[in-house]
């Protein structure tokens, strides 16, 4: 299921503090944010590969570096710092 900007705040609000912490503090520099057809959000840390990036983006999901993910939280008005400090 594709992720649209209009849904972004709702989707990011579903991410638990633990999932965000695990992703941001992992050894990998990139993250994928996928939304399956059942409304489940999958946040995963990844190594960068162009093939994986293309596959994720082609399905309408999000693939970005950690800083960009945190910037998206800020853009939609979610205090990611409080989530990281829980």
Q: Give the model confidence (pLDDT) of 26-79 as tens digits.
A: 999 999 999 876 778 899 999 999 999 999 999 889 999 999 999 999 999 999
- The pLDDT confidence band at residue 80, using thresholds 50, 70 and 90, is very high
Which helix or strand (DSSP H or E) is residue 13 part of?
helix 8-13
CA atoms within 13 A on the CB side of 35: 17
45: domain range?
A: 5-84
Looking at residue 70, what is its pLDDT? 96
pTM of the model: 0.88
Tally of structural domains, the chain: 1
């Amino acid at each position: 299921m594709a992720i649209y900007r209009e849904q972004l705040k709702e989707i990011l609000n579903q991410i638990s503090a633990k999932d965000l912490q695990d992703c941001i503090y992992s050894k990998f520099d990139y993250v994928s944010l996928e939304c399956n057809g059942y409304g489940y959000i999958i946040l995963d840390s990844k190594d960068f590969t162009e093939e994986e990036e293309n596959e994720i983006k082609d399905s309408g999901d999000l693939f970005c570096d950690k800083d960009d993910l945190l910037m998206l939280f800020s853009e939609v008005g979610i205090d990611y710092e409080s989530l990281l400090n829980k």
